[in-house]
Amino acid sequence: GIQVEQSPPDLILQEGANSTLRCNFSDSVNNLQWFHQNPWGQLINLFYIPSGTKQNGRLSATTVATERYSLLYISSSQTTDSGVYFCAVVGAGGTSYGKLTFGQGTILTVHP
């Protein structure tokens, strides 16, 4: 099945800094989503972005499907941005049909 790799695994920032999280995937995808998991385990939808660029406030994302990667940008980070960020894809191949395959996540810690 499709493989998803996220980098970096851990990221520590001071409040106000900018950051870029990367997601590489091993095959063609139909869907790609970015999530933020809060300390209670809730997965919060950030972006649904199988291709192209989207922005939502301080967050933006770009997916280059032909090169099999996606980037999540966080600008002017705040302590409330802390948590785990997951990239998840639905592969275009038969065995990946319909299911989300997650990366291992990036643990972001923002210090005041």
CA distance 8 to 23: 9
User: Nearer Cβ to another protein, position 57 or 98?
Assistant: 98
Smallest distance, another protein to C-beta of residue 37, A:
9
- As measured in angstroms, the least distance from the Cβ of 72 to another protein is 15
Q: Which is nearer to another protein, 73 or 102 (CB)?
A: 102
Which is nearest to 23 in space by CA: 77, 80, 62?
Answer: 62
The site for another protein (CB under 8 A) is made up of 4, 30-31, 33, 35, 40-43, 45, 48, 50, 86, 88, 90, 92, 96-105
